[in-house]
Amino acid sequence: MSIIYSPEEGLITLRTKNTVYQMKADEIGTLLHTWYGEDTGEEDLSYAIHRMNRGFSGNPHEKGMTDRSYSFDQLPLETATFGAGDYRTAAIMVRHEDGSRALRLRFSGCRICPGKYTLPDLPASVEDKDDKAETLIVTMEDPEGGVKAELFYGVFPEKDVITRALRLTNTGRGEKRILKAAPLSLDFITGEYDLISFNGKWAKERVPERQALRCGVQSFGSVRGASSHHHNPSAILCEPSATEDKGKCWGISFVYSGEFLFEAERDMIGQTRLVLGIHPDDFEWVLQPGESFTSPEVLLTYSSEGFSGISRQFHDFIRKNIVRGYWRDRPRPILINNWEATYFYFTGEKLIEIASTAKDLGIEMLVMDDGWFGDRNSDYNALGDWEPNEEKLGMTLHELGARLEDLGMRFGIWFEPETISEDSDLFRAHPDWAIAVPGRAPDLSRSELLLDMSRRDVQDYIIEKMSAVIEEGRASYVKWDFNRSMCDKFTHALPAGRQGEMAHRFVLGTYRVLESLLTRFPELLIEGCSGGGGRFDCGMLYYTPQIWCSDNTDPVERLTIQYGTSFIYPVNTMGAHVSASPNHQTGRTTPMETRSAVAMSGTFGYELDPNRLSEEEKEEIRRGIRVFSELRELIHGGDYYRLTRPDDTGCTVFEEAAKDGKKALVTAVYDHVRANPAPVYVCLHGLKEEKNYRLRLIPGHVQKGRNNPADEAYREGQTIRGSSLMKRGIYIPQYTKEYQSWQILIEEEE
């Protein structure tokens, strides 16, 4: 069993293949957190908790007269509550009917269940066929306060992942208001730590930032209605000496797409607390007697093998236990999107023209982007009017879909379901459906407003309209966009005293629409998008197995974006396209083979007009598609290794290695050209030390007329032992032009 409970000692131990997570209920019902990290066996680790009277750290009434060393202010707690003697960051805060906020939860029991728990109306990790997951539900109660808390733990022993969720129930007679509900509360009694967060902005998402924890609270989060471009709801805690391949690290990721807050506090005696949950700034949930509130889920994993170990464990788990449904294990179609090819200015015939050429190049799907509906020829109007503009297209949507099908192409279509234009038939019919504070002119972003997704009638409208379009066009793919942050929060569907529920109910409404569409169209592939990567999180990946990584399609810029994303999320979730050159966001000119190499480390598609390309460029597209098709299983299913950091050496290098160690692909992109550069060497990973491997440059990356003997050796297919490749490493060929890229295939010799 992966969960062991000893009632006599009050000890609960969660075990995975390489880790132990332990908690203990003490003599007065305080649930102590004793350990989370490498496997220590089943010993009671509470012996390491040191108590002493530190002054100004209050004592619970049961202990105060006899033991002034016992204080919630310094004990490592399994969940932290507000107002009852723990002055550190709280995970749970409740306002009682009398206005007080003190909450003291005591352990009252636990139960162990086979399989993995589910969460009503929320995304949550699921069991894969080979998993032997178990669930622990710990019950804690505050009898005087009339609150019960249930702490949910899902244990995936083979994947070294533990999940956490929280349910709060009003067991009293009066109304309760939940002011903060964080499913993660994790205490460390000792140690110096660094925190890695993934921050950014539109077109520069998820850039890793590492900083040492200092005394006090460090935090990041989002109050934008979505997880945001600016701060991803994931983090890595690590010891200061941790590197890519060595050191103790804890990975944390929130399975939620809305507003969140991550807090890390280092207290006066060097203890560290992590708290992650829904952002409390604009959250307040009302519970009447007998009602419950369930939080979203948090994923936890630990590795002593550095950031790379965390990444591999998260990648495997997200691929198999977060992503689900028809497309989880299937090769996804190589698509071409018309946005950067035409923007709003296209007809059905223009799309057929793009699709016909794309089919000849080996592309499998055409995606019709923004501009196909209503009176939509700019981003100023018509959002919400999801009726095909047959006059603009010059044909019906059914005819367009049928003609693409006759070409042997799949059909995909763009929606922005959660938004509405003031200049739209929908707004004129239902102005109360738009989020806005009554009596105030609303804030506009991209000339649009948000629909009130907390309302059931709004959700039903979107489900009906999207379903009709998908059926008419026989679409097999939807690009789901979300292009603005939330503000002016107000819903006509709730009274004044419950407006704090609106932002969370908005997210629940989005999840309901997504689940309804996937139930109706189980083979539909939905790609998430939010102005690019503004809602890239495990909550969306539960419904959309891939997410547009960024609106920035410049391959050199994408190196940093995809590098940061890879710390938590696997390659096959990252929407990545080959776009036109010069690039539309930066004006940079890059070789076609470099654009292909970078996009291959993603879902792989195109964002250009193939009819404007030279024959040489078209042939490079054919070559790129052949290479990707041959190596797709390795790229999307292998272990990912970051071999250099962007900008460190002027050459970004990463590797995808097969799980069985028989094959690996090394991709190197020179992101900065220097005169007389130092040679770039990298050590490989994931190979078999005792085996010999043949190295060769992928065709298309071989440059004719070169005289460097080291580069010639790649062309001739040199053979090197696995131990040497991993310990001594390989030399990356130098560049002959700006933004040169290389792809090196390493294959085990039979």
State the catalytic residues.
537, 617
Give strand ranges (E) for 390-445.
Answer: 410-415, 419-420
CA atoms of 171 and 105, how far apart (whole Å): 13
What φ, ψ does residue 359 adopt, rounded to 5°? -60, -40
**83 within 8 A of 89, measured Cβ to Cβ:** no
Tokens of 272: 């560290």
Amino acid at site 10: G
Q: Which residues contact 237 (CB under 8 A, 6 or more apart)?
A: 193, 194, 195, 196, 249, 250, 252, 264, 272, 274
**147 within 8 A of 167, measured Cβ to Cβ:** no
Q: In what order do the strands lie in the sheet with 639-642?
A: 639-642, 651-657, 663-670, 741-748, 692-697, 719-721
CA atoms of 681 and 684, how far apart (whole Å): 10
Amino acid at site 665: L
In sign, the C-alpha dihedral spanning 413, 417, 421, 426 is positive
CA atoms of 152 and 154, how far apart (whole Å): 7
| Cβ burial 553-563 (10 Å sphere, 16+ → b, else e) | bbbbbbbbbbb
Count H helices and E strands in the chain, helices first.
Answer: 15, 40
Q: Which residues contact 492 (CB under 8 A, 6 or more apart)?
A: 432, 452, 455
In sign, the C-alpha dihedral spanning 324, 325, 327, 329 is positive
**Closest among 82, 569, 69 to 310, alpha carbons compared:** 569
Residue 320: Cβ within 10 Å count: 21
Tokens of 124: 């949550």
- Tokens 């190295």 -> residue: 695
In sign, the C-alpha dihedral spanning 104, 109, 114, 119 is negative
Residue 469: Cβ within 10 Å count: 19
**Closest among 343, 327, 419 to 381, alpha carbons compared:** 419
**Closest among 80, 81, 113, 79 to 96, alpha carbons compared:** 81
